[in-house]
Amino acid sequence: MGTKIVIAGAGIGGLCAALALSKKGFDVAVYEQSTELSEVGAGLQLSPNAMHVLAGLNVADEIKALGFQPSAAVMRHYQTGAHYFSVPLGAQATQKYGADYLHIHRADLQSTLYKACLKENVSVYLSCGVVSYQLSEKGVSVELQNSTQVQADLLVGADGIKSKVQSCMLGQTPAVFTGQVAWRGTVEAYKLPKNLVKPKANLWVGPGQHFVSYYLRGGDLVNFVAVQERVDWQQESWNEPGNINELKDAFKGWHPEVTEVLDATESCFLWALFDRKPLNQWVDKQVALLGDACHPMLPFLAQGAAMAIEDSYVLAHYLGSDLPIPTALKKYQDLRLARTKGIQLGARKNAGLYHMSSPTNQAKLAVLSGLSKFGLSDAMAANKLDDIYGYNLPKELG
């Protein structure tokens, strides 16, 4: 086609977009501000809606080989371990939604996408982030952090919650601290008592905090995310070391399945959770935003990576439809706005439920606990997830 596309950011969204666009025949170059492609040791969840897209990009089998397939998603009381609900995953989810539900290490997913991009002749430049752009009749002039200019027909801003592309498009609007921080870490499974961590997506909810654990790399590694409400830490960095003893103190008195994981943890990372209101504009003529640059999500529906992956597929679909670039970008924005906004707000709403933060949320948990004794809460929870997990973009777009 001869169309040159520049992508800002080589995270999950940027690399997935590069792969999807290169498969449509575009000339794609990715510019990343970091000196190396390395993700902090942390896991993420790939629900069937994301796996449909990754299958469409021919990388699903490799990702499955590197990941772990949980048997269920379970929410439990932080002390007693009593169940609020259990949603079947594993083979049942695959049969129901037509794609797997997987846990994968971020580094493994990023590496898989990167290698696939290289096979498609995508150029990836490190230590070379995008800082701004200017539109012209010829396309987009992209300024890089080394003060050089790159000319392109289209710029995609996949440069995260602190997106320079978004700032250039919409003006400086700082993200808002949510009053919550997240601790992340991994533990080799052999260091834990056998069968301590169940082969599920394990969610423990308690006053002002919650804890998530699940397996990675075929069960060799246990990943955890511990979220706590506090206002004295506002670092956004993903690689800021946390104080492991402080983390253990924060979750003292929780169920042994939580505390024994933390007892075996030698190091962790800590970062503040920031949020933005849903945007109504993602595009500017020949510039588009993608992933966290336009819809950063709290991790309480485990859909941040999935939404960036979906964005990538839709963007490539419309740009590959021989429409004028501004028209294609408008169609991309219009299809994605409502879905991402709903999931953004749903994730934010879950924070209150997970942290028992109000009488209303405490009452909801009490109802779930009562219904769980009859298996009714399981069906309710599964039905709420159907609209997210059952979304098959390759099938929908044809």
Catalytic residues: 214
Q: Which amino acid is at 170?
A: L
In three-state secondary structure terms, 275 is strand
| Whole-number Cα distances in Å, 47 to 69, 75, 97, 100, 344 | 10, 17, 10, 7, 16
Handedness of CA 263, 268, 272, 278 (dihedral sign): negative
- What does the DSSP 8-state code read for residue 240? P
Q: Which of 277, 355, 347 is nearest to 306 (CA)?
A: 347
CA 229 – CA 141 distance, rounded (Å): 42
Handedness of CA 392, 86, 347, 186 (dihedral sign): negative
CA 349 – CA 239 distance, rounded (Å): 27
Beta strands 4-8 and 154-157 are parallel
The tokens of 219 are what? 């069960």
- Measured at the CA of 298, the angle between CA 222 and CA 311, to 5 degrees, comes to 95
Please say whether the beta carbons of 144 and 128 come within 8 A.
yes
Please say whether the beta carbons of 181 and 227 come within 8 A.
yes
302: left (phi over 0), alpha (psi -120 to 50) or beta: left
CA 160 – CA 90 distance, rounded (Å): 31
CA 334 – CA 136 distance, rounded (Å): 24
